[in-house]
Amino acid sequence: MKVDNTIVDLHLKKEIEEEIESLKFTKNFRSATAEEWYIFMKSYADPKTGGAAGKAIIHYNLYGNKEIFINTTIIFDDEKLFNHELHPLVYAIADEIINRLVGYADTLLSVHAGSNSYHAEYKSN
Q: What is the pLDDT of residue 63?
A: 62
Query: What percent of the chain stands above pLDDT 90?
Result: 70
- Whole-prediction pTM value? 0.87
C-alpha distance from residue 65 to each of 8, 69, 96, 123 (Å): 48, 11, 27, 18
pLDDT digits (tens, 9 = 90+) for 52-79: 999 999 998 766 555 667 899 999 999 9
- Whether residue 74 contacts residue 54, with contact meaning beta carbons closer than 8 Å, is answered with yes
The DSSP letter of residue 86 is G
Identify the pLDDT of residue 8: 55
Of 101, 109, 44, 28, which is closest to residue 77 (Cα–Cα)?
A: 44
What gap in Å lies between CA 25 and CA 47, rounded to an integer? 18
How far CA 4 is from CA of 10, 11, 43, 89, in Å, comes to 10, 11, 24, 19
Residue 29 has pLDDT above 60, yes or no: yes
Give pLDDT, residue 3.
45
Return the minimum-mean-pLDDT range out of 7-16, 38-47, 49-58.
Answer: 7-16
